[in-house]
Structure 1
Amino acid sequence: MARVMVSEFLKIRRKMILFLILLGPMGVIGLEAVNFGVRYDWLTGVYKDDLWRGLIGEVSMLSILTILIGLTILTSMIATIEHQTNAWKQLLALPISKTQVFTGKALLTVLLLFVSCLLLAIGTIVLGLLLKFGTDIPFLYLIEMCFFPYLASLPFIAVQTWLAITMKNQAVPLMIGIVGAIVSMYSMNFPDWVPWKWPLLLNDWDMPVYSVLAGLAIGILLYFIGLLDFNRRDVK
């Protein structure tokens, strides 16, 4: 798997994928910088009891849509490398298993999104300091809001990886992922068992960790289902 992951990283080094990893958090932080810059007095009045938590909450709500659309584009771009060159047969002719190939694609998306969320957390801190919110940063809340939606989105990473790998026409996976991201933003009143609600970290118990645990469990299950299907397919 180490060799597979090295190979996957080499494939993307000259692609727009790495730029996308930077663009997501930069876009979110940039929009929030404009938001607070234009409405500074009003927003600081609304969040006067805890400016940092207010800023982090604003960033988090915008980042959820970015994560869901970002993972859709990432999985598609990663799979497209083989689709465009018709290289699946050559790849699978190498002394690596289909399990390693599928896992490598999924793991690459997971790692890249983790880096993007880490950059988002760092960018939030920088923005808060520039806005002169002080140095009393609620790090636990920051980690929760930047990384919990990402962990709760693991089922979508599993599904989009499977769709992107098994379909040469990437319009279908992209459409499904983008529609899912839009649905998620309006899922506040959905039942707690609906996966599109999990990235919002909302549930009847008011415990964000439950959404994360659900995302982890179903994400792992969907990964294995997708893996079994990929192993049984005749890749062209």
Structure 2
Amino acid sequence: MILRALSADLLKIRRKGVWFLVLLGSLGLVVLQALNFGLRYDYLVGKLYKEDAWGGLAGEIFDLVPIALVLGATLIASQIANVEHLNNSWKQLLALPISRATVFTSKYLVGVIALTVACVLLFAGTIGLGLILGFSAGDIPYLKLLKLSFLPFLGALPMLALQLYLSLTFKNQALPIMIGITAAIATMFAANYPEILPLAWPFLAYYAKPAMPVASGIILFILIYLFGTGHFVRKDVD
């Protein structure tokens, strides 16, 4: 049943801008660094990152990854929810022989899939950019680039869970979007936050020991999902 619901939701978002946001967020970071390195190639590659060009590229890209993840989670969650909100189709959807928990879970899975695709594109795009810039193919730090692409995402899972819950709960998307934009801006200062603060986890997942922020991100994601499912199952839907 969950696979059928997931397939239906993936079809619904096909023309709703979700995949455009995925492309814009992931490849947009790569394009920005293409401009950055293109304009300052002699300084960045010839001086600043002379000893480790690939590591320098990863570091430059990562500076924008946490804010991109939080903002991306906000916009993708809103687009997923608006498929039902804008069409006023919640009552028709929930009248089908499918449990509310399955409907809610499917929306969460779509969000996770969308951001996972964005991470894959970021990984591939970073490698492609490095090769275009003339970095050695034999020195590609695959493990570092995998960490760059996926560990911050795992640390940002609670924000995705929260945004999906808020977006699916409220027809007016002003509140979840305002919270998401505020959180995205706040991640710019994540290096100064205590480790216990979830907004710091996307940053710490790459630069610090990843076990704590990654595990905490996954656990909190599950807790928010369970809370959201319980609330969605009981609430009245307009």
Please give the residue correspondences for 1:22-171 in structure 2 after superposition, counting only pairs within 5 Å.
22-44=23-45, 45-135=47-137, 136-171=139-174
Shift of 1:63: 2.0
Amino acid at match of 1:143: L
Asked whether the equivalents of residues 66 and 202 of structure 2 are also in contact (C-alpha less than 8 Å), the reply is yes
Residue 231 of structure 1 and its aligned partner are, at CA, apart by: 1.2
Task: Give the letter aligned to residue 53 of structure 2.
Answer: L
Aligned residues of 1:56 and 1:142 also touching (Cα < 8 A): yes
Aligned residues: 235
Find the counterpart in structure 1 of residue 193 from structure 2. 190
Alpha carbons of structure 1 residues 206 and 22: separation in structure 2 relative to 1, 3 Å: closer
Mapped partners of 1:202, 1:73: distance in 2: 22
Distance in 1 (alpha carbons) for counterparts of 2:156 and 2:200: 10
1:179-218 matched pairs, under 5 angstroms? 179-201=182-204, 206-218=208-220
Q: Relative to structure 2, which stretch is displaced further, 144-153 or 13-22?
A: 13-22
Q: Which residue of 1 aligns with 2:6?
A: 5
Distance of 2:134 and 2:172 partners within structure 1: 48
1:221 CA drift (Å): 1.0
- On the 8 A contact 2:151/2:214 being kept in 1, the answer is yes
Stretches (4+) displaced over 3 A: none
Counterpart contact for 1:195–1:215, Cα < 8 Å:
yes
Quick check: 2:151–2:205 contact (8 Å CA) kept in 1?
no
In 2: Cα distance, 1:9 partner to 1:74 partner = 13
TM-score normalised to the size of structure 1? Answer: 0.96
**Could you say what secondary structure the match of 1:64 adopts?**
helix
Residues in 2 aligned to 1:218 and 1:68: alpha-carbon distance in whole angstroms:
15
Structure 2 spans left out of the alignment, 5+ residues: none
By how many angstroms is 1:235 displaced?
1.1
CA-CA distance at 1:208 after TM superposition: 2.3
How much does 1:16 deviate? 1.4
**Are the equivalent residues in 2 in contact too, given 1:148–1:201 (CA < 8 A)?**
no
1:199 is displaced (CA, Å) by 0.6
Following superposition, the deviation at residue 206 of structure 1 comes to: 3.1
Q: Answer yes or no: is the 8 Å Cα contact 1:188–1:202 preserved in 2.
A: no
After TM superposition, list the pairs within 5 Å mapping 1:214-229 onto structure 2. Answer: 214-229=216-231
Counterpart of 1:96 in 2: which secondary structure?
coil
For residues 129 and 77 of structure 1, the distance between their equivalents in structure 2, rounded to whole angstroms, comes to 34
Alpha-carbon shift at residue 113 of structure 1 (Å): 0.6
* More displaced stretch, 18-27 vs 160-169: 18-27
Give SS of 1:85's match.
Answer: coil
Q: Is the 8 A contact 2:16 2:83 kept in 1?
A: no
CA RMSD of aligned residues (A): 1.4
